[in-house]
Amino acid sequence: MRIEHIAINVTAPKEMAQWYCGHLGMQIARDTGKAFFLADENKNTTLEIYNNPPDAVPDYASMDLLLFHIAFASNDVTADRKRLIEAGATPDGEVNHDSGDSFAVVRDPWGVAIQLVKRKTPMLDT
């Protein structure tokens, strides 16, 4: 088996989908009008961004990144962090290096924690 998608309930799915496509290299794989399924650049992972008004949208901005974050593989964590901040993300700490890995966290304009990571040994084949 493999993961088909991971879904998050947000306040502005269309705007968020556009930001993720424009700044994180995602592409819309499916648009239902209420939900946006975003595929990564290799089409290996899909993220569903939707809004379901009867259910509470979590306060992502107040959540510790260890409770929830979306991690993106990066070739240059420092440059990608800077670029995302210029595009409206908020820094959440500095760039860190640990045992050959580099990582940083920013918050997208809706407060969702995005981890940028460059691993010495990649987790997945590209």
Predicted pLDDT of residue 123: 82
Q: From CA 121, how far away is CA 91, in angstroms rounded?
A: 25
Predicted pLDDT of residue 126: 56
Q: What is the DSSP letter of 106?
A: E
Same domain membership, residue 75 and residue 42:
no
Same domain membership, residue 80 and residue 48:
no
Length of the chain: 126
* One-letter amino acid of 30: R
CATH code at position 115 = 3.10.180.10
Predicted pLDDT of residue 110: 96
Same domain membership, residue 122 and residue 79:
yes
Task: Name the H helices within the chain.
Answer: 13-24, 77-86
Digit-by-digit pLDDT tens for the chain (126 residues) are 988 999 999 999 999 999 999 999 999 999 999 999 999 988 989 999 999 988 889 999 999 999 999 999 999 999 999 999 999 999 999 999 988 999 999 999 999 999 999 999 888 765
Q: How many CB atoms lie within 10 A of CB 101?
A: 13
Task: Count Cα atoms within 13 angstroms, Cβ side, for 50.
Answer: 17
Tell me which residue range forms the domain holding 22.
1-52
Predicted pLDDT of residue 55: 85
Tokens representing 6 are 């991971």
Which of 104, 73, 103 has the alpha carbon at shortest distance from 89? 104
Q: How many CB atoms lie within 10 A of CB 72?
A: 19
* Strand partners for 71: 115
Based on the structure, what is the number of domains in the chain? 2
